Amino acid sequence: MKTLIKNVYAVMPDGSVPKTNILIDQDRIVGIGPVSDDFHPDKIIDGTDHLAIPGFVNAHTHTSMTLLRSYADDMALMDWLNQMVWPAEAKMTAEDIYWGAMLAMLEMVRTGTTTFADMYGPWMEKVAEAAIDAGLRGVLSRGIIGAAPDGEKKIEENVTLFQEFHGAADGRITVMFGPHAPYTCPPDFLKKVAKTAQSLNAEIHIHMHETKTEIQDSLQQYGKRPFEWVAETGLFDGKGTLAAHCVHLNDADIAIMKKYGIRAAHNPGSNMKLASGVAPVPRLLQEGVCVALGTDGASSNNNLDMLEEVNLAAMLHKVHTYDPVAVPAFCALQMGTEYGGKAVGVKDIGRLEQGYKADITLFDLNSAAWCPRNNLVSLLVYSANSSSVDTVLCNGKVLMENHVLKTLDEERILFEAQRCANHLTK
């Protein structure tokens, strides 16, 4: 199947935005520029008055948590988890996990996200099913809370998830290991997770240094900051690590991140809403750490709209540092796309470039937010919102065209998600 996106403004890897054509063969971009005589498309998408970007990469989320949206607000992390979230999650069934994930798929397609990294569970295979049904790319890990008596069983469930789904759906699904956080996984348990993940050459997805309390408690319990003692367990010695949050960091923490090539998923919306603090993103970027963007779950954000996170990343670090170029517009967009691809360990996504996967989001420029067209990247990051997303492709397949969903039944998903939420939160 060959697809041509004709006459579109395309955000290139260097930040330029030429009016051009995007040539797609099967799952990949095979050219950007003039249409060669021997390219005969099966499908033509008219890109006139549209902006094309690489599909957003949500580098940290908990998709099925959409069922807990608007259920627990205005609380700090540990109260929110202990008093509200964990009791509700304990009631979740496999069906809840599936329909919560499907609600997330719907929201992600509608807002232009094509890849997401998810840590949740049990029943992560239901999230895999949802991603496969939707046509999205998922980087899945079974969230493992080791302090609970059934920690070993959760490691085994992550192994099963890896064996059944790593590389599934034409490579759209990959699997990592998901030890939840240093404060829920003691050192000996993390050693077991590390050993198991390394035996499968699997990567790690973990929450790190999210709140001041996490650092203080760790110092009290272990006499060390989390990054230091977690590194000693060997967790970071394997293929790679995606660390969500990384808010409270000192020089030694950043040195550890650099030493092990740890990639950060920055979640500005969640960090603001849970009053967790401000991650030192400009410093991390200067030091060469890969910093991607995530929404976190829809109970701490409260949506899965990556354009909003791009905007928040650009804005938050300006006000925090009094520096207007702390995170410039194009850099924020790269964090939400190209750096996201690197952070979640998926090759060849996040750039509009020949040879890259055809994961593409198109914005309709026919609205006030896009006028006048002085600078399309600026308009995207500072002016527009995701209601302009009208067409989305993932792996070369059209998931939405002119706002019409091709893989998802919106009415059914909204009905089932509300039905599932009723028994969890009422």
Ligand X SMILES: CSC[C@H]1O[C@@H](n2cnc3c(O)ncnc32)[C@H](O)[C@@H]1O
Annotated binding site: 60, 62, 89, 142, 180, 207, 210, 296
Q: Does residue 151 interact with ligand X by CB under 6 A?
A: no
- Which amino acid, 319? V
Q: What does the binding site for Zn ion look like in residue numbers (CB under 5 A)?
A: 296
Whether 395 and 28 have beta carbons less than 8 Å apart is answered as: no
In whole angstroms, the minimum distance from the beta carbon of 258 to Zn ion comes to 23
Q: Which entry of ligand X, Zn ion, none binds 89, CB below 5 to 8 A by partner kind?
A: ligand X
Q: Which entry of Zn ion, ligand X, none binds 5, CB below 5 to 8 A by partner kind?
A: none
Q: What distance in Å separates the CA atoms of residue 302 and residue 173, rounded to the nearest whole number?
A: 25
Q: Does residue 207 interact with ligand X by CB under 6 A?
A: yes
**What does the DSSP assignment read for 347-389?**
TT-SS-STTSB--EEEEE--SGGG-S-S-HHHIIIII--GGGE
144 or 413, CB closer to ligand X?
A: 144
In whole angstroms, the minimum distance from the beta carbon of 81 to ligand X comes to 6
Identify the residue among 98, 120, 162, 356 touching ligand X (CB under 6 A).
120
Structure tokens at 334: 């790269």
Interaction residues for ligand X, span 8-67 (CB under 6 A): 62, 65
Cis amide prior to 149 (ω within 30 degrees): no
Structure tokens at 324: 């207007």
Identify the residue among 85, 215, 242, 424 touching ligand X (CB under 6 A).
85
- Which amino acid, 111? T
Q: Does residue 77 interact with ligand X by CB under 6 A?
A: yes
Structure tokens at 98: 């599936």
Q: Does residue 180 interact with ligand X by CB under 6 A?
A: yes
Q: What distance in Å separates the CA atoms of residue 12 and residue 400, rounded to the nearest whole number?
A: 22
Q: What distance in Å separates the CA atoms of residue 229 and residue 135, rounded to the nearest whole number?
A: 39
* Phi, psi dihedrals of residue 35, rounded to the nearest 5°: -85, 115
Binding-site size, ligand X (CB under 6 A)? 19
Number of Cβ within 10 Å of residue 148's Cβ equals 10
Structure tokens at 264: 């950060």
Write out the binding residues for substrate: 89, 142, 180, 210, 296
Binding region for ligand X (CB under 6 A) out of 293-301, 358-366, 396-404, 412-420: 293-301
Q: Does residue 296 interact with ligand X by CB under 6 A?
A: yes
Binding region for ligand X (CB under 6 A) out of 99-107, 114-122, 314-322, 366-374: 114-122
Q: Which entry of ligand X, Zn ion, none binds 77, CB below 5 to 8 A by partner kind?
A: ligand X
112 or 297, CB closer to Zn ion?
A: 297
Q: Distances in Å between the alpha carbon of 388 and those of 311, 341, 366, 375?
A: 15, 23, 8, 16
Q: Which entry of Zn ion, ligand X, none binds 120, CB below 5 to 8 A by partner kind?
A: ligand X
Q: What distance in Å separates the CA atoms of residue 56 and residue 44, rounded to the nearest whole number?
A: 22
**Residues within the interface to ligand X (CB under 6 A):** 62, 65, 77, 81, 85, 89, 119-121, 143, 145, 180-181, 207, 210, 270, 296-297, 300
